[in-house]
A and B are shown apart, each in its own frame.
Chain A
Amino acid sequence: MPDILTTCVYCGCGCGLYLHEENGRITGSTPSREHPISRGNLCVKGWHLHEFIHSAERLTQPLIRKNGVLTPSSWDEALDLTATELLRIKENTGDQGLGVMASAKCTNEENYLLQKFTRAVLKTNNIDHCARL
């Protein structure tokens, strides 16, 4: 598998770097030389960007709080519950009772879709992210 060019997530500089994949695992990062920002080098965070991807601490199943404890569940159960609860609160509170926090670490497409979801589905403009933090 050839190296895959992508964009670093560790700051606003936006370096171009290649992820090295082996047997389904990302084993390294290397800067793009031609990329206008990275120009052949990355900072220490970029060089070690791949390290968290396969961390054993990654969440790998949805969790639902049952009797006060977060308990593994299926995706369907978690999504159904989320949809039901959001709808219930929306019905009870109108456009005031729900809020959404988007993320400066998510992609543009995800942010776009999340604000569309907020405005078109939840019917509220209560959406923000930590732009100022």
Chain B
Amino acid sequence: MERFNLLKKDHLIGFLRKLAKEYRIIAPVKNRHGDTLFTPVTDLDNDEIDLTNQPQNSIKSFLFPQTEVIATYQSSTPDDYTFTEPEPSFPPTIFFGVRPCDLSAILYMDVIFLKGKKDPFFLDKRRNSLLIGLNCTAPFANCFCNATNSGPFLEFGFDLQFTDLGDRFMVETGRSSGERLIEDRPQFFTPSTEKDSQARYQSFLEARGGFHRPVHLDQTLKKLAKGEVDESVWSFLSERCQDCGGCAYVCPTCTCFTISDQPLSPTNGERLRSWDACTFSGFTRMAGGHNPVHRATGAIRQRFLHKLLYDVKQHGRTSCVGCGRCVGICFGGTDIVRFINMSCQGELYGT
């Protein structure tokens, strides 16, 4: 039998306090307004680390922030125009309480940003990050990671992974960097027993059976691959899409961005990279005003096909991780679950 470590819940804060001496800790924190967001923990005694609600932001906001400076430029005369790359400033960070969907999303971002030409800004952050996962023992209302194969439990991708077993966490090690976190602080851990492994498996079974939403992703993927999705689905979606970009912004795997110059003075400025969304009509519009992608038929289609068809072709996986963040927040009521179920059922108004 494989042996794991156990950490009593009573000692979680103590363990994090030790880690906080060397790392910045970013964890789901429930703020005084009642919202739970991944936030740097500044006060372990008073910040409420919330492991029962889904954080509304994913850790994408830290590894690939909404806006970041990718260069500064200065140009005092037309013959002088130079660029400087900003110094890396991401401190060693532990992301604690990252759920399987968000962990899968990071593995996807690794492929996008680090396979081939490496993105220096993502690389700097990723290199300085350790991931402590938290398996999902009770899926949330909009979750469907069971359909996307990215949860509720994960086997790889983490440095450490916690599973809630009531009064204790079972702690698995994914990488040597994670192993070291335990080895250097052995006082917090005890070895697990066979009973703990059984409990973990039991909780996995319960989690797997605990999904609230039937999401027929497999059928839709087949239909998409065969090009069998009805045209009316696209027109329905594009009529209703209100162009907020929210689905892309809350998505842990949406990595489209734009680059723009922000002048700071007449002679210098910053080049910013910021989130963008493929559903915006300006996303593909060219300088002369011409747009090769028709918003109604092309842009919405790109969003869903990229996630569910093109990434399967290119990377062998969907880039939807089933976190459900985009579900229920769509202004027009056309989130990915609705799309998936509409595509395979061919039914416009049912969810």
Contacts and interface: CB of A to CB of B under 8 A. Distances in A.
Contacts of A20: 61, 66
A33 B269 contact: no
A56 B331 contact: no
A65 interface: no
B33 to A, nearest CB: 5
A3 interface: yes
Interface stretch (B123-131, B156-164, B204-212, B241-249): B241-249
Interface string A35-59: 1000111111001001000111000
Contact of A42 (B39, B246, B263): B246
A27 B246 contact: no
A41 B263 contact: no
B42 interface: yes
- What 7 pairs between A and B have smallest CB-CB spacing? A28-B66, A41-B329, A41-B246, A40-B329, A56-B263, A33-B56, A27-B67
Interface string B324-349: 01001111000000000000000000
Interface in B65-104: 65-68
Contacts of B330: 41
B323 to A, nearest CB: 13
B21 to A, nearest CB: 21
A34 B34 contact: yes
Interface of B: 29, 31, 33-37, 39-40, 42, 56-57, 61, 65-68, 242-246, 249-250, 262-265, 269, 280, 325, 328-331
Contacts of A50: 67
Chain B binding surface, main DSSP class: loop
Interface of A: 2-3, 5, 16, 18, 20, 27-35, 39-44, 47, 50, 54-56
Contacts of A3: 31, 37, 39
A44 to B, nearest CB: 5
A56 B29 CA distance: 34
A111 to B, nearest CB: 25
B5 to A, nearest CB: 31
Nearest to A25: B67
Given A27-B67, A34-B34, A42-B246, A56 B329 contact: no
Given A40-B250, A56-B263, A56-B265, A30 B57 contact: yes
B329 A34 contact: no
Contacts of A27: 65-68
A47 B264 contact: no
A38 to B, nearest CB: 9
B250 to A, nearest CB: 7
B66 A32 contact: no
B33 A32 contact: yes
Contacts of A35: 33, 35
A3 B55 CA distance: 14
Contacts of B33: 5, 16, 32, 34-35
Given A27-B65, A27-B67, A34-B33, A54 B262 contact: yes
A94 B245 CA distance: 54
19 contacts: A2-B29, A2-B39, A5-B31, A20-B61, A27-B68, A28-B66, A30-B37, A30-B66, A33-B56, A34-B34, A39-B329, A40-B328, A40-B329, A41-B329, A42-B246, A43-B244, A44-B243, A44-B280, A56-B269
